[in-house]
Amino acid sequence: MKMKKMGILNIVLLFATINVALSVQDGLLPNGNFEQGPKASQMKGTKVTDPHAIPHWEISGYVEYIRSGQTQGDMLLPVPEGAFAVRLGEDASIKTRVTNVTSGSFYSLSFNFARTCAQEEKLNVSVSPNTEPNDWGMLPMQTMYSSDGWDSYSWGFLAQANEIEITLHNPAVEKDPACGPLIDFIALKALKNPHRQRGNMLKNGNFEEGPYIFPNTSWGVLIPPNIEDDHSPLPGWMIESLKAVKYIDAEHFTVPEGKRAIELVAGRESAIAQIVRTQKGKVYDLMFSVGDASNSCQGSMLIEAFAGKITLRVPYESAGKGGFKRAKLRFTAVTERTRVRFLSTYYHMKNDHSGSLCGPVVDDMRLVGVRHP
């Protein structure tokens, strides 16, 4: 009995150590909030003129250093936290070196951005060294999802060295140099390999593992579209179709279970999916929670859950005040691999006059084999 207890204690301690080792580097990159800035002599107006003027960063092209409260035309440029942010003009980039990642580990990068023009803005996020073709992300920043003017994006990658360089580049589709996103708060998080928990065939079914969410921001983190599972900032899951999904935290939203959940913010244009090994002819239950994030997202919602070709539509009446219900899809597997998939049938908009998109929340997904159907 005593021996057994010791064993358990050791395992607990071991996990505690691993968590500490992983979490040390979770958080802001050095000067990732740009609070250390250029000297007056390294700027012309707001434009930074020296490529090494911002500590820990190397810039190129038209980069502006923006102080909180600064205006452009008659528009106030919002800076979410602290006093400063950078703006990447046409063809501008910022680059930083991270010296203590682990080669072969997965990471997710999160950053805050605000659009400054009506045009579609994009950001090319890349990490070097990397040997994989096309291993960069073109993140679309066309839609507003938060009411604050700021959103956060995440991007997943595999570190291929212990020392890497991270670049954010505005390839500029627009021709106005005053356009281009404001960027602030760039953070890194080591992602744990998703594993299946007992009694659940899905990996990361409760979404507890995912990108870094800034503790001081209240708008969650977007996970960009077209993400394959091996590079997903949401371990175990793919983001299909054209638009992002939102990763939300219990500190700022209502989530059905644990500390994290997914808000389906883009109607049928975004879906999350996972492929599971199944046994042909066997019966399974896919169970999940559908709710709302308590973020003024009201209305009649409908979630579609798919298991292979079987569909379940789950209506949810949202008062925008939080709450959830459980749903169950029973299906017989017809192949050795079954794709489970979730999307929101409709678009929804917050009723706070911000015009920002929102949607139903899904969480706590379980897939189990049914022994005596």
Interatomic CA distance for residues 163 and 35, integer angstroms: 24
The answer to whether the beta carbons of residues 25 and 100 sit under 8 Å apart is yes
The structure tokens 């500190």 sit at 251
Residue positions counted in the chain: 373
Q: Is 216 in the site for ligand NAG (CB under 6 A)?
A: yes
Which tokens hold the place of 329?
A: 């899809």
Give dist(CA 78, CA 69) in Å, integer: 7
Q: Candidates 24-32, 252-260, 301-309, 339-347 — which segment interacts with ligand NAG by CB under 6 A?
A: 24-32
33/289 with CB nearer ligand NAG: 33
Of 187 and 264, nearer to ligand NAG (C-beta) is 187
Distance, CA of 354 to CA of 148 (rounded, Å) = 8
State phi, psi for 18 to the nearest 5 degrees: -60, -45
Stretch that binds ligand NAG, among 22-30, 46-54, 68-76, 221-229 (CB under 6 A): 22-30
Residue with tokens 């593992």: 209
Output DSSP code: residue 227. B
Strand (E) positions, 33-92?
43-44, 47-48, 58-60, 63-67, 71-72, 75-76, 84-88
Size of the site for ligand NAG (CB under 6 A): 13
Q: Which of residues 103-132 bind ligand NAG (CB under 6 A)?
A: 124, 126
- Find the binding residues for ligand NAG in span 354-373 (CB under 6 A): none
Determine, following the binding rule CB under 6 A, whether residue 226 of this chain makes contact with ligand NAG.
no
Residue 253 CB burial class (10 angstroms; 0-12, 13-18, ≥19): buried
Q: Which is nearer to ligand NAG, 155 or 324 (CB)?
A: 155
Among 47, 60, 68, 81, binds ligand NAG (CB under 6 A): 81
Binding track over 156-195 against ligand NAG, x by CB under 6 A = -------------x-x------------------------
- Applying CB under 6 A, does 25 fall inside the site for ligand NAG? yes
- Complex with ligand NAG: residue 124 or 197, whichever CB lies closer: 124
Given 99, 131, 281, 371, the residue binding ligand NAG (CB under 6 A): 99
Give the one residue of 43, 138, 287, 312 binding ligand NAG; rule: CB under 6 A.
138
Subset of 255-314 contacting ligand NAG (CB under 6 A): none
**Nearest CB to ligand NAG, comparing residues 25 and 42:** 25
The least distance separating ligand NAG from the CB of residue 2, rounded to whole angstroms, comes to 36
Report in angstroms how near the CB of residue 245 gets to ligand NAG at its nearest.
Answer: 23
What H or E segment, with its residue span, contains residue 17? Answer: helix 2-23
Burial label, 248 (beta-carbon count in 10 A; 0-12, 13-18, 19+): buried
Residue 100 found at the interface with ligand NAG (CB under 6 A):
yes
Residues 6+ apart with CB under 8 A from 100: 25, 162, 163
Q: 3-class DSSP state for residue 5?
A: helix
CA-wise closest residue to 122 among 181, 176, 79, 65: 181
Where does this chain bind ligand NAG (CB under 6 A)? 24-25, 30, 81, 99-100, 124, 126, 136, 138, 169, 171, 216
